[in-house]
Structure 1
Amino acid sequence: MRFEIMKKGLLTFLQKGLSARQFRRLAILDLLRGAAAGKEVPHRLAGRLEALARLVPSAVVTRLGSHADGLTETEAVGKRELTGLNEVGHEKPMRWFTHLWLCYRNPFNVLLTLLAVISWLTEDMKATVVIGSMVVISTLLRFVQEKRSNSAADKLKEMVSNTATVLRRDMAQEIAQEARQYFGVQLHPQAARRVEVPIRLLVPGDIVLLSAGDMIPADVRLLAAKDLFVAQAALTGESLPVEKFCEAGPCPDGNPLELGNLCFMGTNVVSGTATAIVIATGSNTYFGALAERVTTQDRTPTQFQAGVNKVSWLLIRFMFVMTPLVLFINGFTRGDWVEAALFALSIAVGLTPEMLPMIVTSTLAKGAVILSRKKVIVKRLDAIQNFGAMDVLCTDKTGTLTRDRIVLERHTDAFGAVSDEVLDMAYLNSCYQTGLKNLLDVAVLEHADLHQKLDAAGNFRKVDEIPFDFSRRRMSVVVSEHDDRHLLICKGALEEVLSVCSHVRHGETTGVLDQALLARIRTVTAGLNQEGLRVVAVATRALPAARDTYGVADESGLTLVGYIAFLDPAKESTAPALAALKANGIEVKVLTGDNERVTLKVCRDVGLAIRGVLVGTDIDAMSDARLAVAAENATVFARLSPIQKERLVRVLRGNGHVVGFMGDGINDAPALRAADIGISVDSAVDIAREAADIILLEKSLMVLDQGVIEGRKTFANMLKYIKMTASSNFGNVFSVLVASAFIPFLPMLPLHLLVQNLLYDVSQVAIPFDNVDEDALRQPQKWNPDELGRFMLFFGPISSVFDISTYALMWFVFGANTAAQQTLFQSGWFVEGLLSQTLIVHMIRTRKLPFIQSRAAWPLLAMTAVIISIGIFLPMGPLAGYFKLQALPLSYFPWLIATLLAYMALTQAMKGFYARRYGWQ
């Protein structure tokens, strides 16, 4: 009873004591912006990490308010209230109403809304309904399509590992501590227990247990470690793991990643075990600092977005010029300013391609569906078009050009001749070492036939091991063969192994390692390096079987027996994929943190032509102007930091390129964000997937090539709508200006213009499903508003020629030349205008001869037939009176057919002239 009362009192005390004010996170973003070029972590954060690294383990535990046996659950909950969850600053999903507003917010929808309000104020309800329908349909379609696409992408945003093993003191320990402190009662609780805790619930002060295969769940300080090797490629781009110790070691250039007793969120344990204490979580981690830099910076407009905005404002400016002209001409010639204003308002609507957002979204959504069948998730619909516009692809090397799997390429003696003995010695070293089993050892141990040949378990016995460390950069094992002698086998970096060698073996003979032989050895290894091979030296020393303990001092007087050389081989699919990208007008540039020699070897293997090489130190020494020139002339960029990658992408974009970047590590995230199109894979680190626009379920350049083609189809179909609408509407307005000047009544009522425009736009809904000519897919396609204006001037007046001929036909042939006959005149022009607009789709959709050399997809053909039928039915059917139209005489239709055929013939001729002079996009 006394125990329960004491427990309740202590819990109340703890709960009150832990309810402190909310902890405010470090201003990491501001510090990042103020950091010197090339520094990826704030100085204050680096200083804090280094200070914790320098403390002894017990002092770190005390400073973080923890205990050698870990936190209690109550303490962890209290700390979590102060620090928040252990999550980096991802982009927060938009609320539905925010997303709906963004879908609505574009120049055309805002303009149409204004026109609908004006129509409503002037009590023109038919116009209000027609214009409002255009806005609602366009906005809702975009909202629904983007919502579906984003939901599919969200399914990939889960951490690979979401739990960590931590030490927890149970309630009895908590009570015992408080009882001893406040009541003087000595209790004896049980020891700490291991529990699995979701990574997001970790707090500073948690004691975590790490072993091979674990992700580092937060920034941690090691308290104890045994043969601990950590893969930091996601942060640094290093291909090989680094060893971690309990001691801090040197910290060159203030880079906390070099501190030997700190491990960072986003990395993982390759081998060994460790006990560590969490020193930072969430946005306060090194990972979080980079992540917050990526997710909080504003995206610059992509090439697609900038192009759409330019086209939009071009058409809006044109409308602002033409609409007042129509207003004043009709107002002065007829004196009815109200009617003139309504007519000018209808002209404004007719000039506005109000279905552009809907057509764009429908086309992009169709592309997203097709890509999803090819194992590609589209996060942002705009990114599909950027696939087609992309002319430079920046990609990492490992896993994209290569298999991401190191293989043993060669085993030679000291002078380059193939040597089985070297492979035997390397196998024994890798087999018996208990420290890091890195990718190099895995590649050696794959030669399973050697195990039987050497009979490692029977003929050889391990005596001792001299572990690897990064000051020596080598490791040794001592084995005994039949217990009659000991053999020390050393394996490591060339220069470090040579420094302890006194002899060199060549065949059956052994000679003294003099300067001449040393020069020859360096020539041989330099040749291997030039081939992109990573060279590891192997040396041995025979020792008497007199003792069982060996140390670093025994690594002396060794005999160099040769080298093993490794390569991360190229993928078989890379070469054809690169050839396809080149054929499609895309230049591939390799941006990697790896060595330039290895990268060059891989590039040669996959057939990538190298025009130049830049390394990170070269880039830092260049101004942006110099780098802009150098980046154009180089193909390989090696030994890069994350900020250098981002800078290169921005420089290439500044040169006018549409840049795609493909990467999967946090070191790639800034560049992914800076690119026109960021491409990642589902196995990438979480922040890389967050920054990407496209997520591949298969890391393959061939998938990218398919995406490029799909993007170009998407762009071509969107451009069809813009060209057809802009040129046709321009021609209609020019025709209206002519009619307004010479005809004593309105050539078409405002209602007629709105209905005609709506029917025309409905006919374009099938454009996303249209075919695209093969020759239109061979080169990158970009938005060019200037080209669009020229296209309008060339093709718009063609329709005006036949509009004016229709005026003459109705005026002189059918006698519709008085106000009493204006309905007949308006009906004749309504039908001719709608049919010519609808048919011109098939003329402008292709450079070739329509219906014969290039045929539209069946949905577009069917929609064209439907709209033509409706256009003829409205004046000829029972609804004619409602729309203020009247039936046309049958003799009108032969004239109509002749007009349309002449219109199509003249347009085809103009296409040939225009394409020869300006090209055809």
Structure 2
Amino acid sequence: MKLWQRLFTSFLKRFHLTRFFGRSQSFKELHQSSYAQEINNTLSTRLIQAAQLDSTALFAQLDSSASGLTEQQAITRQKQVGLNEVAHEKPLMWWQHLWYCYRNPFNILLTLLALVAFFTDDLTGASIISVMVVLSTLLRYWQESKSNQAADALKAMVSNTATVLRHQVSFDDLALMQQRYQINIKNQKNTEFEIPIQYLVPGDIILLSAGDMIPADCRILTAKDLFVSQAAMTGESMPVEKFAQQKNLKENNALDLENIVFMGTNIVSGTAHAMVISTGIQTYFGALAHRVTATDRVTTSFQMGVNKVSWLLIRFMLVMAPIVLFINGFTKGDWSEAFLFALSVAVGLTPEMLPMIVTSTLAKGAVFLSKKKVIVKRLDAIQNFGAMDVLCTDKTGTLTQDKIFLSQHVNVQGESSDYVLMQAFLNSYYQTGLKNLLDVAVLEAIDQEVKTQKLAFRKIDEVPFDFERRRMSVVVKTPQAKVRMITKGAVEEMVKVCAYVEIDGKIEALTAQRRAAIEALTQRYNRDGLRVVAVAYREFSDEQENFAVADESDLILIGYVTFLDPPKESAMAAIKTLHEHGVAVKVLTGDNEFVTQKVCREIGIDCDRVLLGGVIETMTDQQLKKAVERYTIFAKLSPVHKERIVEQLKANGHVVGFLGDGINDAAAIRAADIGISVDTAVDIAKESADLILLEKSLMVLEQGVTEGRRTFANMLKYIKMTASSNFGNVFSVLVASAFIPFLPMLPIHLLIQNLLYDISQIAIPFDHVDDELIAKPQRWQPEEVGRFMIVFGPISSIFDIITFALMWYVFSANTPAQQTLFQSGWFVVGLLTQTLIVHMIRTAKIPFIQSRAATPLLIMTVVIMCVGIFLPMGPLASYFKLQALPLSYFIYLPFILIAYMCVTQIVKTIYIRRYGWQ
């Protein structure tokens, strides 16, 4: 690291400004750094002690019980410890938000220029520069506040909850809980309640299952095949198994405790009962977040693009301002006046409204999407939406209806069987893990008579679902007092653990011939668009009480349940529209290839070739990088496969979006440029996403894509306008300074002109965008901005020079005594051409005829042009060191403006033919 970088970093740390200028460290880095040493030792000690205590002692220590806290205990405890929230999740204070809106390269540069003007007694210049900075900052503050309020209103509709046990719940408690937690008591079990996680307190007993985000630091009381992803805390890529007992009682590293789970991690598979030990800032996650309150996000392509363009313009200013200084200093001899003029040129070259324009357009996009029931968690994601050229999506609930119907329940021979349905029902009913749509379909398909039969069965144990086995089991005591394991899952995985089949009540060996028949039957169902789940069982001796994955062997296959997941009616239109907008849609699913192809064929996605997860497993990254371009459908994928596909698409230069709602989608959502989830998704999917859809519809995505492109196009308009007009002004100043014996324009004139021009740009976020500009993905191209500036900037200089000649020869403004008239003449032409360039550059078409600006922009243009003419002609002229122009000047003015617009249009046509138009 260079010396200046080290000094700057030290300065930021010394005054706690890293939130505003630098990125925060990841929690893994923090754990490995000196920050970890600063974490309160009491926290680690508390967790280690909790891990070592038996459950009885733990209950006594936290004044709780196996059935949880009473509601009154929870209320009292929350008053003591506060809400279960960490520091970085809280909104910025108003002054922090204001500072955040102020700090950008341009505002800081303008502030320095204002200070220089102030200390050189140019109070007018300092005042105008200050107005620009304040205007830019306050507008951005107002826009972001407005957008945040809209987003917060929607976020209130999407809250993460936890299942908590309550002890001795009275009728009064039920009423209090319904009011306090805003929950529907009718949908709660007697002792289990879904409450918002911010109301959890130490001592609460919570239930955890696959897909849950862990809402606090907890001690595991009971666990069944519990695997937890701790990547957010430790950086471990593989899930870690957790148990109810700590085996190594000498363990002194809190993160390695086997019966402690941490806030911010998530359950991959299995179930557990856990006791909350610490909440909010007292959690391990909260303690780390308290040290560095900024979220750790990699710089996006949007941010990098803005930064590159910003520094391009700043470098241009740093080169041109000194040239203006030296030319005017040597030719006029008045170095102080030359310095002030160069300072004004520097201000004029600085696109001080860029931060406000960027934020305004993004905020407008966020408000637009909020009306479409889309929560924008990060404003930058809107532009990424517009840049997206590949959308990866899960199949179930996205391309298909968010409702799966039980179609058939058949035995091994394909004949309808109520016995198979009953076993599938018992499996779905008694499992306590994450009930997917298939389980819901089974439960809803059973009539009341069958449901009463479950009373004759008693649950003993279960082996939860995970994505490697792709099956789950429950163990019940049958009415005949037999211990039976009932297993259901993906056909190919089930066949691997089955040794027998049941045909007409007889148990026979599962031969190779029968395996072939099973494969043929299930593939026939798949080709009909049905999803097939196999059902099997095995009976055990009465002595066995605990069961594990190893017991899922030598099963007896009894049949299948098939499900219909019809495509959404809007899916075909949405896919077609996305394709028309240059967005390729790729389907990434864990389902089998036959069902996926059937659905894709019906909605218009190319389905001739499918790449399976098993094949991806054998591919190198280089091979997969080529394969992701050739294939559109990827089936039988694991979560790791989905993540790899997204990463390889990004490596190929694509901007990738991922839409998913399951546990198996979370890693891919994180890896994508823009992660999209839905409000019904599991917690980890919602936490990983940049956007949350309150309606799972691809049509909303298409609208988001077009809005993102509209947002980007409006931002780019301002940058192109500012860059080209600024370059033209400086070029004109250089020419005039070299040949005219006085300043062509006073510093105050440049500042006022720039201020008025910037005010006219406030309406840009509300401008129309041509259909051609939203028909394809849009990305930042800094080199295009530089070329555009060099080509279009000198056009205005041509007409500035014509104006110089007009004022010099026609109106005889050719002596220092007549310089005010000269400056007034150029002031009007300069402001009007600079304002009109907005309409020339905002579209590739002929302005006002083929493409007309939005009404707000037209109004602002007319207002600013009128103000520009009024200043020299009105009573304020002398104050601004201007003077009234002769009426004959206004005979020449329209010809100059019309000629300027015509030449610009001709050059624009040539430019588009050669370089295109972004």
Instruction: Bin the TM-score by the shorter chain.
Output: 0.7 to 0.9
Match of 1:363 in 2: 361
1:800 has 2:797 as partner: yes
Match of 1:536 in 2: 533
Match of 2:870 in 1: 873
1:748 has 2:745 as partner: yes
Match of 1:427 in 2: 421
| Other structure's SS at 2:89 match | coil
**Aligned mates of 1:30, 1:244 — CA distance in 2:** 20
| Other structure's SS at 1:143 match | helix
Q: CA deviation at 1:737?
A: 0.8
**Aligned mates of 1:639, 1:127 — CA distance in 2:** 67
Closer, same or farther: CA 666–235 of 1 in aligned 2, 3 Å: farther
CA contact (8 A) 2:328 2:738 kept: yes
Match of 1:41 in 2: none
| Other structure's SS at 1:380 match | coil
> Pick from 428, 431, 436: which aligns with 1:436?
431
> Pick from 645, 657, 676: which aligns with 1:660?
657
Q: CA deviation at 1:323?
A: 1.1
Matches within 5 A, 1:59-458: 87=85, 91-155=89-153, 156=155, 159-161=159-161, 164-167=164-167, 277-278=275-276, 298-412=296-410, 414-415=412-413, 419-420=415-416, 422=417, 424-430=418-424, 435-436=430-431, 440=438, 442-447=440-445, 451=447
Match of 1:767 in 2: 764
**Aligned mates of 1:473, 1:651 — CA distance in 2:** 32
**Aligned mates of 2:883, 2:50 — CA distance in 1:** 88
**Aligned mates of 1:386, 1:558 — CA distance in 2:** 50
Match of 1:788 in 2: 785
**Aligned mates of 2:291, 2:130 — CA distance in 1:** 41
CA contact (8 A) 1:294 1:670 kept: no
CA contact (8 A) 2:628 2:645 kept: yes
1:903 has 2:897 as partner: no
**Aligned mates of 2:648, 2:285 — CA distance in 1:** 25
Closer, same or farther: CA 594–106 of 1 in aligned 2, 3 Å: farther
Match of 1:704 in 2: 701
Q: CA deviation at 1:608?
A: 3.6
Match of 1:178 in 2: none
Q: Given residue 583 of structure 1, which amino acid in structure 2 is its aligned partner? A: E
CA contact (8 A) 1:591 1:645 kept: yes
1:717 has 2:714 as partner: yes
**Aligned mates of 1:668, 1:779 — CA distance in 2:** 27
TM-score by length of 2: 0.75
Match of 1:252 in 2: none
1:581 has 2:578 as partner: yes
| More moved, 465-474 vs 696-705 | 465-474
Q: CA deviation at 1:844?
A: 1.0
**Aligned mates of 2:591, 2:286 — CA distance in 1:** 24
Q: Given residue 164 of structure 2, which amino acid in structure 1 is its aligned partner? A: A
CA contact (8 A) 2:207 2:273 kept: yes
1:918 has 2:892 as partner: no
Where structure 1 has 5 or more consecutive residues not aligned to the other structure, the ranges are 1-26, 36-44, 170-192, 237-242, 250-255, 542-546
Matches within 5 A, 1:483-494: 492-493=488-489
Q: CA deviation at 1:134?
A: 0.5
CA contact (8 A) 1:235 1:665 kept: no
CA contact (8 A) 1:413 1:563 kept: yes
CA contact (8 A) 2:724 2:790 kept: yes
Closer, same or farther: CA 746–638 of 1 in aligned 2, 3 Å: same
Closer, same or farther: CA 461–333 of 1 in aligned 2, 3 Å: closer
**Aligned mates of 1:677, 1:457 — CA distance in 2:** 44
Closer, same or farther: CA 217–119 of 1 in aligned 2, 3 Å: closer
Match of 1:886 in 2: 883
CA contact (8 A) 2:220 2:274 kept: yes
Q: CA deviation at 1:728?
A: 1.1
- The alignment yields a C-alpha RMSD, in angstroms, of 5.6
**Deviation digits for residues 371-418 of structure 1 (CA, Å, limit 9, x no counterpart):** 222212334333322222222334444443344443324445535x5x
**Deviation digits for residues 831-882 of structure 1 (CA, Å, limit 9, x no counterpart):** 1111111112111111111111111111211221122222222222222222
- Structure with higher Rg: it is 1
**Aligned mates of 2:576, 2:230 — CA distance in 1:** 29
**Aligned mates of 1:457, 1:642 — CA distance in 2:** 35
Paired positions, count:
827
| Other structure's SS at 1:660 match | strand
| Other structure's SS at 2:780 match | coil
CA contact (8 A) 2:649 2:656 kept: yes
Match of 2:13 in 1: none
**Aligned mates of 1:574, 1:282 — CA distance in 2:** 42
**Aligned mates of 2:93, 2:474 — CA distance in 1:** 56
**Deviation digits for residues 402-455 of structure 1 (CA, Å, limit 9, x no counterpart):** 44443324445535x5x33x2x3333435677623955454245446xx59xx6
**Aligned mates of 1:470, 1:797 — CA distance in 2:** 74
Closer, same or farther: CA 817–80 of 1 in aligned 2, 3 Å: closer
**Aligned mates of 1:88, 1:630 — CA distance in 2:** 43
**Aligned mates of 1:407, 1:234 — CA distance in 2:** 36
Where structure 2 has 5 or more consecutive residues not aligned to the other structure, the ranges are 1-24, 34-42, 170-189, 233-240, 248-253, 465-470
CA contact (8 A) 1:724 1:840 kept: yes
| Other structure's SS at 2:430 match | coil
Q: Given residue 794 of structure 2, which amino acid in structure 1 is its aligned partner? A: P
**Aligned mates of 1:261, 1:522 — CA distance in 2:** 42
CA contact (8 A) 1:489 1:538 kept: no
CA contact (8 A) 1:426 1:444 kept: no
**Aligned mates of 2:52, 2:568 — CA distance in 1:** 44
Q: CA deviation at 1:138?
A: 0.4
**Deviation digits for residues 320-339 of structure 1 (CA, Å, limit 9, x no counterpart):** 11111111111111111111
**Aligned mates of 2:671, 2:211 — CA distance in 1:** 32
CA contact (8 A) 1:411 1:563 kept: yes
**Deviation digits for residues 342-398 of structure 1 (CA, Å, limit 9, x no counterpart):** 111111111112222222222222222222222123343333222222223344444
**Aligned mates of 2:242, 2:856 — CA distance in 1:** 63
**Aligned mates of 2:279, 2:424 — CA distance in 1:** 37
Q: CA deviation at 1:91?
A: 3.4
Closer, same or farther: CA 435–267 of 1 in aligned 2, 3 Å: farther
Q: CA deviation at 1:727?
A: 0.7
**Aligned mates of 2:598, 2:843 — CA distance in 1:** 44
1:564 has 2:565 as partner: no
Q: CA deviation at 1:762?
A: 1.6
**Deviation digits for residues 465-513 of structure 1 (CA, Å, limit 9, x no counterpart):** 7867449966699999xx9xx9x9977455768977766659x999986
TM-score by length of 1: 0.74
**Aligned mates of 1:135, 1:605 — CA distance in 2:** 56
CA contact (8 A) 2:461 2:476 kept: no
Closer, same or farther: CA 293–456 of 1 in aligned 2, 3 Å: farther
CA contact (8 A) 2:423 2:486 kept: yes
CA contact (8 A) 1:295 1:691 kept: no
**Aligned mates of 1:606, 1:204 — CA distance in 2:** 50
> Pick from 813, 818, 821: which aligns with 1:821?
818
Closer, same or farther: CA 710–273 of 1 in aligned 2, 3 Å: closer
Match of 1:736 in 2: 733
1:520 has 2:514 as partner: no
CA contact (8 A) 2:663 2:682 kept: yes
**Aligned mates of 2:242, 2:404 — CA distance in 1:** 23
